[in-house]
Chain A
Amino acid sequence: MFELLSQPAPDGGTYGKWLLSGLTWTMALAIAGWAIAFAVGVAIGTGRCLSGRTIPAICRVYVEIFRNIPLLVQMFLWYFVLPELLPPNLGDWLKQLAPPWGNFLPAVLCLGLYTASRVAEQVRAGIEALPPGQKEAAIALGLHPRHVQYYVIVPQALRLLIPSLTSEVMGIYKNTSVALTIGVMELTAQARQISEMTFQTFPAFAAVTITYLVLALIVWAGMTWLEHHLAAPTSTACDPRPVFLPPVKEENR
């Protein structure tokens, strides 16, 4: 069924190569987008929980704007509208960026900052779920408020968060396909292009779908591993036995 992938394409390569190139762009979007989303999201989410008024308010405005406009509309704003709103020389530079960067750059920024608003909400929820005693104890130790956040609150919140961050990572890799609307030739775009070239819609779509499934599986496995290895010891996970004794096999009751 997938002999299509070894067939020569009009550009001299094979359709398999097209698919690989699509995969590369999908991965590039997802990884770079996630880097932005995570950094900005943690900052904004923590900002929402600081005392004071201004910073939480600004962070809230950010979240509400980026969360409540459809990703596709945001894509168009970055791609079509932003260059018009910037000073003319900067806007022109953006418009004349050599392909594929002229499409990729707005797509990555859009994807990253959109996902950041969702990550921020998860971070905030995680921080609010922490027992208040944590913050109180940290303050009682005389830690600087910045260090309270950096060493005590955020690390714990992130650990709690890994399951919900998993779904955001899954979200960003699926949302990469929206970039096709501004001309990034990622996986879904390649699926459509190959099917239009060859009229072999089924194998083209199937190959790309399987690729997505494998990616999903990798993301899921990776996040599960992370969750396992970063988990803070809890009363059940923590082993009370002295370390030099070999573990006793539990009798199954």
Chain B
Amino acid sequence: MLNQSDPILRLENIGKYYGRFQALADISLSVQIGEKIVICGPSGSGKSTLIRCVNRIEAHDSGRVIVAGHELTAKTRQISQIRQDVGMVFQSFNLFPHLTILQNCMLAPIKSRGLDRSDAEKIAQNLLSKVHIANQAHKYPAQLSGGQQQRAAIARALCMKPQLMLFDEPTSALDPEMVQEVLDTMAELASEGMTMLCVTHEMSFARQVADRVIFMADGRIVESSPTEEFFRNAQSERARSFLRRVDL
């Protein structure tokens, strides 16, 4: 099926429009298994749109998205197949407020993967203890702090055993003192070899975890370099001025 050397994700010339506004222009990108990529850039540059095209939360208008060897088309069955293998963590957590943390984690494995309750619960408990909130399992999202909610959301995504994780500004909605706990959880996940695509402004995290940094502006990939090189010697002026402005 998939060779070790095949990319888990390949984007070919992706274009995306909102009305006449071009959100993404000619994006090409390939992600190997185990690779950790941080996408950064000024707001409105299309970073979020880009990763939302990967699991077709937004539909791209042109180009090809290929996940684990399968091209994403409008076919519902196939989209749902791909979404099972791609986990996503949102800026605003998007936990289901009427379900407990544990139920949040068990819902999709039971309904989409067809696991039985006891297996799903075992997996969920496991992952919740991994993100250090096992004792909150029976609480409702609103009873947790922002940092705990985001870690729960990460656990929820992991319960589907995804091959690729997408993070859409996972710490932007958090109070400053809670940012680190979420970043630590993500770093831990990275060290276990998870393939990750993160949109974030946390440059220290990028430095510590990422294999490669992608800098976007105006819907285009301006620069894509190995992490060290990006921070030491960014090629474009826009990336350099961006780096000067963000806190290192």
Q: State the A residues within 8 Å of B (CB).
A: 252-253
Q: Which of B1-19 contact A (CB under 8 A)?
A: 18-19
Can you list 6 A-B pairs, Cβ within 8 angstroms, ordered by A?
A: A252-B19, A252-B20, A253-B18, A253-B19, A253-B20, A253-B21
In the bound complex, residues from chain B placing their C-beta under 8 Å from that of A252 are 19-20
In the bound complex, residues from chain B placing their C-beta under 8 Å from that of A253 are 18-21
Number of interface residues of B (CB under 8 A): 4
Dominant secondary structure of chain A at its interface with chain B: loop
In the bound complex, residues from chain A placing their C-beta under 8 Å from that of B21 are 253
In the assembled complex, the CB of B218 is this many whole angstroms from the nearest CB of chain A, namely: 13
CB-defined interface of B34-63 with A at 8 Å, one 1/0 digit per residue?
000000000000000000000000000000
In the assembled complex, the CB of B46 is this many whole angstroms from the nearest CB of chain A, namely: 14
Q: Which residue of B lies closest to A251 (CB)?
A: B20
In the assembled complex, the CB of A250 is this many whole angstroms from the nearest CB of chain B, namely: 12
Measured in the bound complex, the distance between the Cα atoms of B21 and A252 in whole Å is 8
Q: Which residue of A lies closest to B18 (CB)?
A: A253
Measured in the bound complex, the distance between the Cα atoms of B63 and A75 in whole Å is 69
In the assembled complex, the CB of A252 is this many whole angstroms from the nearest CB of chain B, namely: 6
Measured in the bound complex, the distance between the Cα atoms of B21 and A78 in whole Å is 64
Measured in the bound complex, the distance between the Cα atoms of B20 and A252 in whole Å is 7
In the assembled complex, the CB of B23 is this many whole angstroms from the nearest CB of chain A, namely: 10
In the assembled complex, the CB of A243 is this many whole angstroms from the nearest CB of chain B, namely: 30
In the bound complex, residues from chain A placing their C-beta under 8 Å from that of B18 are 253
Measured in the bound complex, the distance between the Cα atoms of B133 and A66 in whole Å is 52
Q: Which of B113-169 contact A (CB under 8 A)?
A: none
In the bound complex, residues from chain A placing their C-beta under 8 Å from that of B19 are 252-253
Measured in the bound complex, the distance between the Cα atoms of B21 and A76 in whole Å is 64
Q: Which residue of B lies closest to A253 (CB)?
A: B21
Measured in the bound complex, the distance between the Cα atoms of B19 and A252 in whole Å is 8
Measured in the bound complex, the distance between the Cα atoms of B219 and A253 in whole Å is 14
Measured in the bound complex, the distance between the Cα atoms of B20 and A247 in whole Å is 22
CB-defined interface of B15-34 with A at 8 Å, one 1/0 digit per residue?
00011110000000000000
Q: Which residue of A lies closest to B20 (CB)?
A: A252
Measured in the bound complex, the distance between the Cα atoms of B19 and A46 in whole Å is 47
Measured in the bound complex, the distance between the Cα atoms of B119 and A8 in whole Å is 79
Measured in the bound complex, the distance between the Cα atoms of B19 and A115 in whole Å is 46
In the bound complex, residues from chain A placing their C-beta under 8 Å from that of B20 are 252-253
In the assembled complex, the CB of A251 is this many whole angstroms from the nearest CB of chain B, namely: 8
Measured in the bound complex, the distance between the Cα atoms of B21 and A84 in whole Å is 74
* Pairs of residues from A and B, 3 with the lowest C-beta to C-beta distance, nearest first: A253-B21, A252-B19, A252-B20
Measured in the bound complex, the distance between the Cα atoms of B18 and A253 in whole Å is 8
Measured in the bound complex, the distance between the Cα atoms of B19 and A253 in whole Å is 7
In the assembled complex, the CB of A71 is this many whole angstroms from the nearest CB of chain B, namely: 36
Measured in the bound complex, the distance between the Cα atoms of B115 and A205 in whole Å is 57
Measured in the bound complex, the distance between the Cα atoms of B21 and A253 in whole Å is 5
Measured in the bound complex, the distance between the Cα atoms of B18 and A252 in whole Å is 10
In the assembled complex, the CB of B17 is this many whole angstroms from the nearest CB of chain A, namely: 11
Measured in the bound complex, the distance between the Cα atoms of B23 and A24 in whole Å is 58
Q: Which of B57-105 contact A (CB under 8 A)?
A: none
In the assembled complex, the CB of A253 is this many whole angstroms from the nearest CB of chain B, namely: 5
Measured in the bound complex, the distance between the Cα atoms of B126 and A177 in whole Å is 64
In the assembled complex, the CB of A69 is this many whole angstroms from the nearest CB of chain B, namely: 36
Q: Which residue of A lies closest to B21 (CB)?
A: A253
In the assembled complex, the CB of A163 is this many whole angstroms from the nearest CB of chain B, namely: 27
In the assembled complex, the CB of A31 is this many whole angstroms from the nearest CB of chain B, namely: 45
In the assembled complex, the CB of B9 is this many whole angstroms from the nearest CB of chain A, namely: 29
Measured in the bound complex, the distance between the Cα atoms of B129 and A25 in whole Å is 72
Measured in the bound complex, the distance between the Cα atoms of B119 and A241 in whole Å is 63
